[in-house]
Amino acid sequence: MMNIWPVPQVKLGENSIAEIPAALDSLGAEKVMVVTDEGLIKVGIYDKIEKVLIDAGKEVLLVDEVKPDPSMQLVDSIADKARLSGAQAIIGLGGGSSIDSAKVAAALVGNEGSIKDYIGVGVLPKPGLPILAVPTTAGTGSEVTYLSILSDLENETKKGFGTPFIMPKFAFLDPSLTVGLPPHITAPTGMDALCHCVEAYTSANANDYSDAMAVKAIELISQNIRTAYNNGSDLTARENMLLGSLMAGIAFANAGVTAVHAFAYPLGGMFHVPHGMANSLMLPVIIKFNASAMKERFGHIAEIMTGRKGADWQDCINEVEQLCVDVNLPRNLKAIDIPESAIKPMSVSVMDQTRLLVNNPREVTQEDAFAIYTEAWGR
């Protein structure tokens, strides 16, 4: 049976944030909490949102303590603030870190206790507050997924938390909010989005619906990421990247991601490698590992990325590698100072990512994991 997850109502385009108050009205929300990080305050993006809300007569509560790779402790503390404040809706403003934190905190408000009690998929018993997402990276696709990824500081890893209750009700994708995203964040966040659609398209759980989303997302992202990187103020490229990351998010919400994300998590958990960079470091190595199970699909991805009929899975690896060079992402783990001695513990840790590894088109053994990290380290 095919399962298709609902998507929020999406407003895409310049100044779409002007629609936020009407969305809040439809939810009966007068008091709203905005969850974001300091970076969004510094570049003035929070001020723009606050102005839209205040002008519409809304009461605004700001929580700006989100950090990259948010932890379970952080979301517990945001949920406590939301419980005490009496907020009626929560806006996640920023990249995946802020939106993921907002989603979990909003859901916790309707339940007792800590997120630690509910880790996993489908564990949380009750809904919480309605969520509105305003992504400012393109991106994680968190605005259209029922998942949040949280750091487990005790075990130095990252864990997924999934429930339909954290699917946002509305998403506002305004390209003007992403023009100031610096190239060194545009590149890894864009590669994260590319990984989502490439992995969804080559997932063992892909279906016709996720394929349609993934194929268009691969096209949008691969054709716009270089322009967004080189000329951040190109609004068309920025809008296409936002749409691409949204469609990639829908694709992987329905098909799952595979070994690329699984192998990226220990890099994030143990060495705090930014999520998109960790994925981009693993992508060519995993395509090579998975190619034998999905030759045609990797060939099709290469055709979309190169625009050349007849391109094959090897072209797919070459094209992905060239893209990483063009947006100045590192080539291997050695280049970002991951010690060689980490290969062993990372290859043990990745085997716990069963939620993702079950989607991989090829089984991954402990020995494979060691070989994959070894190649990613020194190739």
Ligand X SMILES: NC(=O)c1ccc[n+]([C@@H]2O[C@H](COP(=O)([O-])OP(=O)(O)OC[C@H]3O[C@@H](n4cnc5c(N)ncnc54)[C@H](O)[C@@H]3O)[C@@H](O)[C@H]2O)c1
Residue 266's binding partner among ligand X, Fe ion, none (Cβ under 5 to 8 angstroms by kind) is: none
174 contacts ligand X (rule: CB under 6 A)? no
Query: In the complex with ligand X, which residue's Cβ is closer, 88 or 137?
Result: 137
Q: Is 7 a binder of ligand X (CB under 6 A)?
A: no
Which H or E run contains 10?
strand 9-12
Cα→Cα distances 335→175, 264, 350, 379, Å: 32, 16, 21, 10
Q: How far is CA 263 from CA 76, 260, 266, 371, in A?
A: 27, 5, 6, 12
275 lies in the site for ligand X, by CB under 6 A:
yes
Residue 199 tokens read as 């992995």
Q: Does 178 bind ligand X (CB under 6 A)?
A: yes
Q: How many residues bind ligand X (CB under 6 A)?
A: 33
Q: Give Cα 124 distance to the centre of its chain.
A: 21
Q: Between residues 192 and 319, which has the closer beta carbon with respect to Fe ion?
A: 192
Tell me the two tokens of residue 112. Answer: 């007792």
Please, what is the minimum distance in Å from the beta carbon of residue 275 to Fe ion? 6
- At 201, the amino acid letter reads Y
Range 35-54, binding ligand X (CB under 6 A): 37, 39-40, 43, 45
CB of 191 to Fe ion, least distance (A): 9
Contact 292, 362 (CB under 8 A): yes
Residue 189 within binding range of ligand X, rule CB under 6 A: yes
In the complex, least distance from residue 38 CB atom to ligand X, rounded to whole angstroms: 7
290 binds, among Fe ion, ligand X, none (CB under 5 to 8 A by kind): none
Q: Is 328 exposed, middle or buried (0-12, 13-18, 19+ CB in 10 A)?
A: exposed
Alpha carbon distance 172, 326 (integer Å): 29
Lookup result for tokens 């029922």:
146
- 10 Å Cβ neighbour count for 62? 14
Q: Which does 191 bind (CB under 5 to 8 A by kind): ligand X, Fe ion, none?
A: none
Which residues lie below 8 Å from residue 73, measured CB to CB, with a gap of 6+? 153
Specify which residues 179 forms β-bridges with: none
For Fe ion, the closer of residues 108 and 283 by Cβ is 283
Contact pick of 48, 53, 63, 98 for ligand X (by CB under 6 A): 98
Residue 192 interacts with Fe ion (CB under 5 A): yes or no: yes
User: Is 199 one of the binding residues for ligand X (CB under 6 A)?
Assistant: no
Site string for Fe ion, 32-71 (x = CB under 5 A): ----------------------------------------
Residue-wise DSSP of 65-107: EE-SS-BHHHHHHHHHHHHHHT-SEEEEEESHHHHHHHHHHHH
The helices-and-strands tally (H runs, E runs) of the chain is: 15, 9
Site for Fe ion in 225-264 (CB under 5 A): none
The DSSP output letter for 144 is G
Q: Least CB distance from residue 370 to ligand X, whole Å? A: 24
Q: Please, are residues 34 and 46 in contact by the beta-carbon 8 Å criterion?
A: yes
Residue nearest to Fe ion (CB): 192
Residue 37 interacts with which of ligand X, Fe ion, none, CB < 5 to 8 Å by class: ligand X
Question: In the set 185, 293, 336, 358, which binds ligand X (CB under 6 A)?
Answer: 185
Identify which range of 1-9, 129-137, 184-192, 305-313 contacts Fe ion by CB under 5 A.
184-192
Which of 174, 192, 199, 211 binds ligand X (CB under 6 A)? It is 192
Contact between 203 and ligand X by CB under 6 A: the answer reads no
Give the footprint of Fe ion on this chain (CB under 5 A): 192
Give the footprint of ligand X on this chain (CB under 6 A): 37, 39-40, 43, 45, 68-69, 94-98, 100, 136-137, 139-142, 145, 147-149, 158, 177-178, 180-181, 185, 189, 192, 275-276
